[in-house]
Structure 1
Amino acid sequence: MNYFSIWWLAIRPKTLSIALSPVLLGSALSWHSQAAFSLLTFIIILISALCIQIGTNLYNDAADFEKGADTPERLGPKRAAQQGWLNAGQIKRGALISFFMAFLAGIYLAYLGGMAIIILGLISILCGYAYTGGPKAIAYTPLGELFVIVFFGFAAVGGSFYLQSHTINYSVLILATGIGSMAAAILLVNNYRDLEGDRKVKKLTLVHYIGRPMARKLYVFMMSYPYLLLLVLLPQYPWTILLALFSLPLAIMLIGYFLRMEITSELNKVLAYTAQLQLLYTLLLSLGLWLSQGLWLPPSLWPS
């Protein structure tokens, strides 16, 4: 395996859609409600979000390996430190570079959004480290799924909306919980699969406290909630948001697949498919919001 391939696997490309989805939705909501959209702003937000996600993934790789969570018996996808492709020091340096790139992208976003975005950006980078770093890592507590909903729902969608429109409203934040819920479902599957190994290293996640039977029910709720949310919010949004319902049959199939699944490496497919479904749901929802303003593009994609 060449050096590029190793780093490509280390950043976990299958999870990067989790960072893309809230930026798409926040920008689409801005165009729908304010007819405000800047392509440059969208690109810079996306770069910052992806860099934070990559930095978090890399630091998670190194930290879990050092804490003994990633062992040869682990059922999840191969990790760079676990496999000896890279040492923990190299991976941590990669994470720091990624966080620094997010910081650089954030300078322009801070110029656009002011102090609120500065604070949000710094908290985001800090949380990227704190997720598996430090003495009280978030990933080693039952708060991981809640953290994902807050970060990939409220913060990422709300921040993207604010940077495009320079406003915020509660309905945007409520709609953001839908893709936040799907992102949390991805983590839930990960923790469901790794429960026994996590317990050995005192990684006591939500699944540890509620057990696998309740975790399966929670997964059903997390995957159903975004679709129920569309129906609840329909009076506040155009009927075109119902385009997202075209992804519902896939969600139902995935739920059934997960409920029947044994505790094997096949759960990795559920994790990947959940991430793909979240992206599909977001693309369809964003398209519906965009089409509600007509089939044209914004008059000016670039800031003047």
Structure 2
Amino acid sequence: MNLKVFLKLVEIRTKIASFTPFLLGNLYFIYNYKGFNIFNCLLLLLSLLCVDMGTTALNNYQDFLKAEKKEGYNYEQHNAIVNYNLNKRTVKKIIIILFLLAIVIGLLLYLHSDVIVLLVGLISFAIGILYTSGPVPISRTPLGELFSGLTMGFLITFLTVYIQNLNLVNLFFSLGLLKIEIQFLEIIKLFIFSLPLVLGIANIMLANNICDFSDDLVNKRYTLPIYISKKKSLQLFSYLYYLSYLSLVLAVVINILPLISLLSLLTFFIIKKNINKFKSKQSKKETFILAVKNFVILNYTTALTLILAILI
């Protein structure tokens, strides 16, 4: 398997969904705290990429095995296993290697941090596996948007900050009891900061499921749009972006983000235009990319304002 085919199998273009929370988490830490551990940062990045690539490859493999509709853009062109006529054994080996690499790197990160990193990593890893496999994969249920948004949007952001500041959560034994200390205020602030990431990633999944509405009915993938209808899903698609902007304003008001981050509100006009385009036509080939573009536009504009605030 050459590099081009491998990158198609793991859908490398979609890794921005895991890299962006990592980037913003680091900028959040640099803006709000002192000190920076570059080694832990690199370990987390490598582990995230391996998990994300492995999960995507596993998802494509599961879709290949379970697909009942054997034609159409999503099946023939979007799935690299079909498009390049890949050997199933080779694909399984790649999936196993990626997950093993993620585990090894994750354990190394744990040795350089603490048990909270291990626990959060295990939870994230388990969700990644259950998302695409098992008796009822999460991606084939109405909970796909919720799990993908929280896992990638919040947990990645949390881990990125936590490995730099291990005081956010403390787990220890005292008088024979296991006790936990949580800096709730700091974690709530981090959650508010991560909301545009959470909602943006959820919307990428939602857009994907809306585009696959007809195919999912045939393939018995009972996703959120199947349950609430395509019309209500498109309304939800819009509302999640509006909520993202509200959370951004709230983050500035309560001093989580610098005042300059209000410049991100100017992206609303571009994103609103993309929302209208997607609502007029839902196509995996033509308009799905708008959800990814919206995610990039809003969050990277916010990242740029953070960089400016740090430099100033």
Q: Number of paired residues?
A: 291
- Tell whether the 8 Å contact from 2:260 to 2:305 is kept in structure 1 after alignment: yes
- Tell whether the 8 Å contact from 1:113 to 1:162 is kept in structure 2 after alignment: no
Change (3 A) 1:7 1:248: same
Q: Identify which of structures 1 and 2 has the higher relative contact order when contacts are C-alpha pairs closer than 8 Å and 6+ apart.
A: 1
**What CA deviation, in whole Å up to 9, does each residue of 1:239-270 have, x standing for no partner?**
02224334323211210111111x4xx43343
Mapped to 2, the partners of 1:228 and 1:70 lie a distance apart of 41
- Equivalent residue number for residue 291 of structure 1: 308
The match for 2:279 among 252, 259, 266 is: 259
Q: CA deviation at 1:279?
A: 2.7
CA RMSD of aligned residues (A): 2.0
Partner AA of 2:242 in structure 1: S
Give the 5 Å matches for 1:189-268: 189-237=207-255, 238-261=258-281, 263=282, 266-268=283-285
Mapped to 2, the partners of 1:12 and 1:70 lie a distance apart of 21
Change (3 A) 1:243 1:94: farther
For structure 1, list consecutive stretches of 5 or more residues without a partner in the other structure: 296-304
Give the 5 Å matches for 1:28-107: 28-68=27-67, 71-75=70-74, 77-107=77-107
Q: CA deviation at 1:70?
A: 6.3
**What CA deviation, in whole Å up to 9, does each residue of 1:181-203 have, x standing for no partner?**
11111111111111122122321
For structure 2, list consecutive stretches of 5 or more residues without a partner in the other structure: 169-185
- Equivalent residue number for residue 132 of structure 2: 132
Runs of 4+ in 1 over 4 A off after TM superposition: none
- Equivalent residue number for residue 281 of structure 1: 298
Q: Which stretch shifts more, 40-49 or 208-217?
A: 40-49
Mapped to 1, the partners of 2:263 and 2:167 lie a distance apart of 26
**What CA deviation, in whole Å up to 9, does each residue of 1:191-241 have, x standing for no partner?**
111112212232100010000000100110122222121112212232022
Mapped to 2, the partners of 1:105 and 1:70 lie a distance apart of 38
Q: CA deviation at 1:176?
A: 1.1
- Tell whether the 8 Å contact from 1:68 to 1:201 is kept in structure 2 after alignment: yes
Mapped to 2, the partners of 1:160 and 1:95 lie a distance apart of 24
Q: CA deviation at 1:69?
A: 5.4
State percent identity of aligned pairs: 25
SS in 1 for 2:285: helix
TM-score of the aligned structures, taking structure 2 as reference length: 0.86
SS in 1 for 2:132: coil
Partner AA of 1:256 in structure 2: N
Mapped to 2, the partners of 1:259 and 1:68 lie a distance apart of 27
- Tell whether the 8 Å contact from 2:21 to 2:197 is kept in structure 1 after alignment: yes
- Equivalent residue number for residue 174 of structure 1: 192
Q: CA deviation at 1:67?
A: 0.9
Partner AA of 2:123 in structure 1: I
- Equivalent residue number for residue 171 of structure 2: none
The match for 2:287 among 258, 270, 273 is: 270
